[in-house]
Amino acid sequence: MAAITSRNFDSADETREFKDGKGKLDLINTEHGPVGRAVFEPGWRWSTHVKPIAGTESCQAAHVGYMISGHMKVVMDDGETGEAGPGDFMSIAPGHDAWVVGDEPCVLLDWVGFGDYAKA
């Protein structure tokens, strides 16, 4: 195990594009598991831009992350709602839809749920 690891998302191990050019996920694989940086463009919505890739009725990934910029609304399958913006920590259980609020890209770091995210 390395004592220090430093990686840059601009040199990610993998990049996954969202449908209609509405963003992308850059993934870095670490010895502790994958870490992702997603950029969700204005107009992005999980049920429109990732559901066709995932093939599930709602997002089945758990997310634990940090919102760098932009705003996102999340609606759980049971109707519970929440929003996150710059500087917010997020923890979201599986079973939700989400979308960008406003006209600024939403940039999110996630160290739990992006390993299989937007992957067929």
Per-residue pLDDT in tens (0 to 9) along the chain, 120 residues:
679 989 999 999 999 999 999 999 999 999 999 999 999 999 999 999 999 999 999 999 999 999 999 999 999 999 999 999 999 999 999 999 999 999 999 999 999 999 999 887
**Pair of tokens at residue 39:** 């950029």
- Please give the Cα distance from 52 to 119 (Å, whole number): 10
Q: Locate tokens 């890209």: which residue?
A: 105
Measured from the Cβ of residue 23, the count of other Cβ atoms closer than 10 Å reads 24
The model carries a pTM of 0.92
Q: What Å distances lie between residue 41 and 49, 69, 85, 99, 107, CA to CA?
A: 11, 11, 14, 9, 9
In sequence order, the 6+-apart residues with CB closer than 8 A to the CB of 8 are none
Please name every residue paired with 88 in a beta bridge, in sequence order, or none if there are none. Answer: none
Hey, where are the domains in the chain? 12-69+86-110
